Amino acid sequence: MARPQRIEGYAVISREGMICAADGVMPASLKIDADQRFYHDAVDRADAVANGRHSNEGGPRAATKPRLVLTRHVASLAADPTQPNAVLWNPAGCSFEDAWPRLGVDGVLAVVGGTDVFGLFLPIGYDAFFLSRADVALAAGRPVFPGVPDKPPEEILAAHGLVQKDVRVLDLRAGLTVAEWIRPR
């Protein structure tokens, strides 16, 4: 159990590839109902979640979901004193292969951000990344991956071996699509 059966990433981005404003807060313009439903349904199906200390998927089951909370505030791994199903993980002090078994689950890991978390899992290896793109301007913000906006997120995903499988429209009026990027088998 050194690795989940699948690692899936989920992010909604602005036209410029931002996941939130410069202050770290996701603006209401990126919280589009169709994407929120898509996202929460997917995270509910996942067996565990990986997120940064300041990101959280929310929803009624969020507190019960096993999770790896990435932080620099512990040396390697520690129980999270505020969430009984969470493990605090510092990737600088412990590998993912050693951190994952601490959750005691198997199956799908949903990676839900932020920037450093999404970037960390690029070399670990996403099996799929669901990149929702909204027709929203947010030039000054936090990018989905390190390297954005110098490179578009799609170029970064492709550079890490993922290929775009399909694109679906989630909300035509909002200009919201989701592209599924997968690792070819």
* pLDDT tens, residue order, the chain (185 aa): 578 999 999 999 999 999 999 998 999 999 999 999 999 999 999 999 999 976 756 666 677 899 999 999 999 999 999 889 999 999 999 999 999 999 999 999 999 999 999 999 999 999 999 999 999 999 889 999 999 999 999 999 999 999 999 999 999 999 999 999 999 98
- Please report where in the chains the tokens 């301007």 appear, as a residue: 137
104's CB contacts (< 8 A; 6+ apart) are 66
C-alpha to C-alpha distance for 70 and 157, rounded to whole angstroms: 21
Q: Nearest Cα to 10, choosing from 150, 173, 140, 153?
A: 153
pLDDT for res 60 = 65
> Using alpha carbons only, what angle is made at residue 60 by residues 13 and 82, rounded to the nearest 5 degrees?
90
C-alpha to C-alpha distance for 164 and 157, rounded to whole angstroms: 9
How crowded is residue 102: how many other Cβ atoms within 10 Å of its Cβ?
16
Where does residue 176 rank: exposed (0-12), middle (13-18), buried (19+ CB within 10 A)?
Answer: buried
